Amino acid sequence: MATRRSGRKPPSYSHQVTAAAAASDSDAALIAAHAAGDQQAFGELVRRHRDRMWAVALRTLRDPDEAADALQEAFISAFRAAGSFRAESQVTTWLHRIVVNACLDRIRRRNARPTSPLPEVGPQEPAVPRDAMSERETQLTVQAALGQIPAEQRAAIILVDVEGYSVAETAAILGVAEGTVKSRCARGRVKLAVLLGHLRNPDADANVRADNATGKPAQFREGR
């Protein structure tokens, strides 16, 4: 039976990584093994970091389909560029940079041809307990608020405040100066504080709704 041949040289024994061995290798070792021709190494790297990268893409784009496409593009780019990885940063930092750039590229393309967003909740979705529904509503509110601030500020806030990266690490991921990261985070946080202020003081928001319903100022309502 003929064996299919490729232009790539077969990996040396030292770089052959089985599925079991790959799980114990470092990220850098997996990148090196992939660059040397191992066919399992990059798959293990994706398996190891897929969930975290998916969370970043989803928070940045706020659309599961867009996030899935961006993540696929990012991993394809990482697959092709792995040979040029020089270990000057952590592999996770390198992957985050590729994922965030893929997301920002999609945002720029989407802004060039704006579309109407689909509703988050459909009429046929099953009922959920009130506590879970309230938590879901809060998540959607926060996601909606993130969607109202500029993409560059959103990316910086997600990396620093959600993912827990330092300012220096975020600057490396985004390819900007540390001062730029600090500025984007500061401006974004101010905007989010305004957009999400009612979550910090729901009683005040409830009083405003009640006062609007009666048409009377709060100080003139009965019992005040």
Averaging pLDDT over each range in 83-87, 98-102, 118-122, 203-207, which range is the top one?
A: 98-102
Task: Give DSSP secondary structure letters for 102-151.
Answer: HHHHHHHHHHHS--PPPPSS-TTSPP--HHHHHHHHHHHHHHHHHHTS-H
Q: How far is CA 79 from CA 35, 114, 156, 217, in A?
A: 9, 31, 25, 62
Q: What is the mean pLDDT of residues 180-205?
A: 79
Query: Which of 81, 82, 60, 83 is CA-nearest to residue 71?
Result: 60
- Given a cut of 80, whether residue 119 has pLDDT beyond it is no
Tens digits of per-residue pLDDT, 9-23?
Answer: 433 334 444 444 455
180-192 tens-digit pLDDT: 999 999 999 999 8
Q: How much of the chain is in helix, strand and coil states, percent to nearest 5?
A: 70, 0, 30
Other Cβ atoms less than 10 A from the Cβ of 17: the count is: 24
Residue linked to tokens 């827990």 = 164
Q: Among 52-61, 151-160, 170-179, 213-222, whose mean pLDDT is lowest?
A: 213-222
pLDDT of residue 132: 55
- Dihedral, CA atoms, 37, 42, 45, 50, nearest 10 degrees? 170
In words, the CATH class of domain 15-113 is mainly alpha
Rounded to a whole number, what is the distance in angstroms from the first to the last CA of the chain? 91
- 112 Cβ contact partners less than 8 Å away, ≥ 6 residues apart: none
Residues 6+ apart with CB under 8 A from 189: 157, 161
Tell me what pLDDT residue 40 has.
92
- pLDDT above 70 coverage of the chain, percent: 64
| 69 pLDDT above the threshold of 50 | yes
Residue 211 scores a pLDDT above 80: no
Q: Note whether 26 and 34 are within 8 A (CB).
A: no
Q: What are phi and psi of 196, to 5 degrees?
A: -110, 15
Domain boundaries, the chain: 15-113, 131-197
- Confidence tier at 142 by pLDDT (50, 70, 90): confident
Domain 131-197, CATH class in plain words = mainly alpha
* Fold match, 15-113 / 131-197: no
Q: pLDDT exceeding 90 applies to what percent of the chain? A: 37
Q: What is the mean pLDDT of the chain?
A: 74
pLDDT-derived band at 198 (thresholds 50, 70, 90) equals low
CA-based nearest residue to 146, from 49, 55, 51: 55
pTM higher than 0.75, yes or no? no
pLDDT at 224 > cutoff 70 = no
* pLDDT one-digit tens code per residue, 9-58: 433 334 444 444 455 579 999 999 998 999 899 999 999 999 999 999 99
* C-beta of residue 158 within 8 angstroms of C-beta of residue 184: no
Per-residue confidence (pLDDT) for residue 1, from 0 to 100: 46
- The helix/strand/coil state of 174 is helix
Tell me: pLDDT of 61 over 60: yes
